[in-house]
């Protein structure tokens, strides 16, 4: 402890002199994480003679010994005073004499290089940008990213009456005759190739169409990324699924025979099972999470993926989301628009229109994407999220907390407000939400150094609220 105090907490000391283990085992025991190999100083105890007057001068150590300092890749003679150990350097007093010959040094560095190729070996940056290398979607009036983008280029509204056969009188009762306008996906939601995904007919019947669609779209996104889905087996690939409606579960509980059992209902409709099913299909081993935070579920799912990729918990992430209207939805005068339109930031705004969507993103650290030569669609520089805290009711927005989320995102990205040129707003078209959001955007992105105007857009005016 005297020696540790002398080093002023800068260096961790480990000694295995009393443990009868070989050199390599001692080395591994010394490194509490693989990253310690980047800052480790191995001391040969047979040559150690510590001067009681040893001290730091300009963060240098003076003492009479020889050591292998891994960071600098050389055998350092610390008596010269020319060796400067970096903060958090770990010094290991090994029970065996190192005798740093050329052969032993070569073995040592070869050993370190092999270890550094293992999972979790590479140091991760807490703010490293995350790339989108693959994506696919099914959105109102579009079955794919290109069609979805064209919706905005054409500037059209895709709100329409529900498709024929979406719900029937036999299933829903008299309510099934009501025509409701929403943003519906043009693809069939009741068809699925279970054999392709190795799912039995019974499993398919009890599985929420949202989960079935997420499975298909995630496969398409992997193909878009140039990744063979079958190649993921055994990899540290993470799955994040953001959903917040359970229409199909409601119908199953109402119409399915009780003899089918609640376990089948749960395994086919719970959020946890949805993410777990993707991991099962792709045979991956990374983190797995189903997220329900209402209409920000997909946002938080992507944020969790960013966090886990940055800390090295996964090498690749699949983020999915789905929202399908499987049973009739009714307009009311609280939050839904009576004329089924999101009139975002308009004086006539009277609520939002519901719509459907299924999407998947394939995410990867920027350094890994560049190394692997991936096509990069876009880059996530930063992420920020907050909770409203003390408000009049659960879910009531506030200017302060919305602005704080944006400010946290800027801080995480290491960017200034004036560097942001475009903001895609939530823009629901509600009389209360829109004005608050505009004030929050103004609070977060207004800056004296801004020379260009900030452009604010909202896709809900075209497709509704997915």
d(CA 211, CA 324): 10
Instruction: Determine the pLDDT at residue 173.
Output: 64
pLDDT greater than 90 at residue 158: yes
| Beta strands 56-57; 422-424: pairing state | unpaired
Q: Report the Cα 16 to chain-centroid distance in Å.
A: 40
What domains are defined for the chain?
Answer: 2-115 (no CATH), 130-385 (3.40.47.10)
Q: Which residue has the tokens 């992997």?
A: 222
Instruction: Determine the pLDDT at residue 336.
Output: 87
Instruction: Determine the pLDDT at residue 237.
Output: 96
**Which tops the pLDDT comparison, 329 or 256?**
256
Of 161-165, 245-249, 253-257, the range with the highest mean pLDDT is 245-249
**Which tops the pLDDT comparison, 88 or 348?**
348
Instruction: Determine the pLDDT at residue 10.
Output: 39
What 3-state DSSP class applies to 104? helix
**Which tops the pLDDT comparison, 354 or 168?**
354
Do residues 210 and 274 touch, judged by C-beta distance below 8 A?
A: yes
Phi first, then psi, for residue 310 (nearest 5°) are: -65, -35
Mean pLDDT of 425-442: 93
What 3-state DSSP class applies to 66? strand
d(CA 345, CA 336): 15
Token duo for residue 48: 């150690």
d(CA 361, CA 238): 12
Instruction: Determine the pLDDT at residue 394.
Output: 82
Of 97-106, 370-379, 388-397, the range with the highest mean pLDDT is 370-379
Instruction: Determine the pLDDT at residue 64.
Output: 47
Instruction: Determine the pLDDT at residue 399.
Output: 93
| pLDDT tens digit sequence for 257-316 | 877 778 888 899 999 999 999 999 999 999 999 999 988 999 999 999 999 999 989 999
Q: Element (H or E) spanning 307, and its range? A: helix 297-310
| Beta strands 357-365; 316-323: pairing state | antiparallel
Q: Element (H or E) spanning 363, and its range? A: strand 357-365
pLDDT greater than 90 at residue 424: yes
Instruction: Determine the pLDDT at residue 124.
Output: 58
Instruction: Determine the pLDDT at residue 73.
Output: 52
Mean pLDDT of 432-436: 91
278 contact partners, CB below 8 Å, separation of at least 6: 214, 215, 218, 239, 241, 318, 320
Mean pLDDT of 360-384: 94
What percentage of the chain carries pLDDT values higher than 90? 53
CB atoms within 10 A of CB 71: 15
| pLDDT tens digit sequence for 390-418 | 888 887 889 999 999 999 999 999 999 99
Instruction: Determine the pLDDT at residue 1.
Output: 31
d(CA 128, CA 412): 9
**Which tops the pLDDT comparison, 221 or 337?**
221
Instruction: Determine the pLDDT at residue 175.
Output: 61
Of 330-334, 401-405, 449-453, the range with the highest mean pLDDT is 401-405
What 3-state DSSP class applies to 172? helix
d(CA 318, CA 218): 7
Instruction: Determine the pLDDT at residue 6.
Output: 35
67 contact partners, CB below 8 Å, separation of at least 6: 41, 42, 43, 44, 75, 76, 78, 91
Instruction: Determine the pLDDT at residue 119.
Output: 46
| pLDDT tens digit sequence for 13-29 | 555 555 555 566 656 66
Tell me the torsion sign for CA atoms 200, 202, 208, 210.
positive
Mean pLDDT estimate for the chain:
81
Mean pLDDT of 196-223: 96
Instruction: Determine the pLDDT at residue 385.
Output: 94
Instruction: Determine the pLDDT at residue 186.
Output: 95
Q: Which residues pair with 138 in a beta bridge?
A: 358
DSSP code string of 427-457:
----TTHHHHHHHHHHHHH--TT--SPPEEE
Mean pLDDT of 193-211: 95
| pLDDT tens digit sequence for 101-141 | 445 556 666 666 665 555 444 455 678 999 999 999 999 99
d(CA 211, CA 239): 13
Structure confidence at residue 54 as a pLDDT band (50, 70, 90) = very low
Mean pLDDT of 360-370: 94
d(CA 255, CA 269): 15
């Amino acid at each position: 402890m005297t020696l540790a105090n002398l080093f002023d907490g800068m260096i961790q000391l480990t000694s295995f002199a009393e443990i009868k283990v070989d050199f390599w085992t001692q080395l591994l025991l010394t490194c509490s994480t693989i990253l310690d190999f980047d800052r480790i100083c191995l001391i040969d105890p047979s040559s150690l003679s510590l001067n009681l007057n040893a001290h730091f001068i300009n963060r240098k150590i003076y003492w009479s010994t020889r050591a292998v300092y891994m960071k600098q890749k050389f055998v350092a003679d610390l008596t010269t005073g020319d060796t400067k150990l970096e903060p958090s350097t770990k010094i290991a007093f090994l029970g065996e004499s190192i005798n740093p010959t050329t052969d032993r040094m070569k073995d040592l560095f070869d050993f370190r290089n092999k270890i550094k190729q293992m999972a979790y070996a590479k140091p991760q940056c807490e703010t490293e940008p995350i790339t989108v290398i693959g994506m696919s979607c099914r959105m109102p009036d579009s079955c794919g990213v290109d069609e979805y983008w064209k919706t905005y280029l054409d500037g059209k509204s895709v709100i329409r009456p529900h498709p024929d056969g979406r719900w029937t009188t036999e299933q829903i009762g008299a309510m099934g005759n009501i025509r409701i306008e929403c943003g519906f996906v043009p693809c069939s939601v009741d068809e699925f190739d279970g054999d392709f995904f190795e799912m039995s007919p019974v499993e398919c019947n009890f599985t929420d169409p949202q989960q079935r669609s997420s499975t298909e779209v995630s496969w398409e996104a992997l193909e878009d990324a140039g990744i063979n889905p079958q190649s993921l087996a055994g990899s540290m690939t993470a799955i994040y699924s953001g959903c917040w409606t359970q229409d199909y579960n409601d119908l199953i509980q109402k119409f399915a025979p009780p003899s089918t059992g609640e376990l089948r209902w749960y395994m086919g409709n719970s959020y946890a099972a949805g993410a777990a099913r993707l991991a099962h299909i792709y045979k991956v081993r990374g983190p797995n999470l189903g997220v329900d935070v209402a209409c920000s579920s997909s946002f938080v799912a992507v944020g969790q993926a960013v966090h886990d990729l940055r800390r090295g918990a996964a090498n690749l992430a699949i983020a999915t989301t789905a929202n399908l209207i499987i049973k009739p939805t009714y307009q009311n005068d609280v939050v839904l628009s009576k004329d089924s339109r999101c009139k975002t930031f308009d004086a006539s705004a009277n609520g939002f229109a519901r719509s459907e969507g299924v999407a998947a993103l394939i995410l990867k650290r920027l350094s890994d994407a560049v190394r692997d030569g991936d096509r990069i669609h876009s880059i996530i520089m930063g992420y920020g999220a907050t909770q409203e805290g003390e408000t009049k009711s659960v879910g009531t927005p506030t200017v302060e907390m919305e602005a704080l989320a944006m400010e946290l995102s800027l801080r995480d990205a290491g960017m200034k407000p004036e560097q942001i040129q475009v903001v895609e707003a939530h823009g629901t078209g509600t009389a209360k939400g829109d004005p608050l959001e505009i004030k929050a955007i103004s609070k977060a992105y207004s800056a004296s150094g801004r020379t260009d105007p900030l452009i604010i857009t909202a896709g809900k005016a075209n497709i509704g609220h997915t």
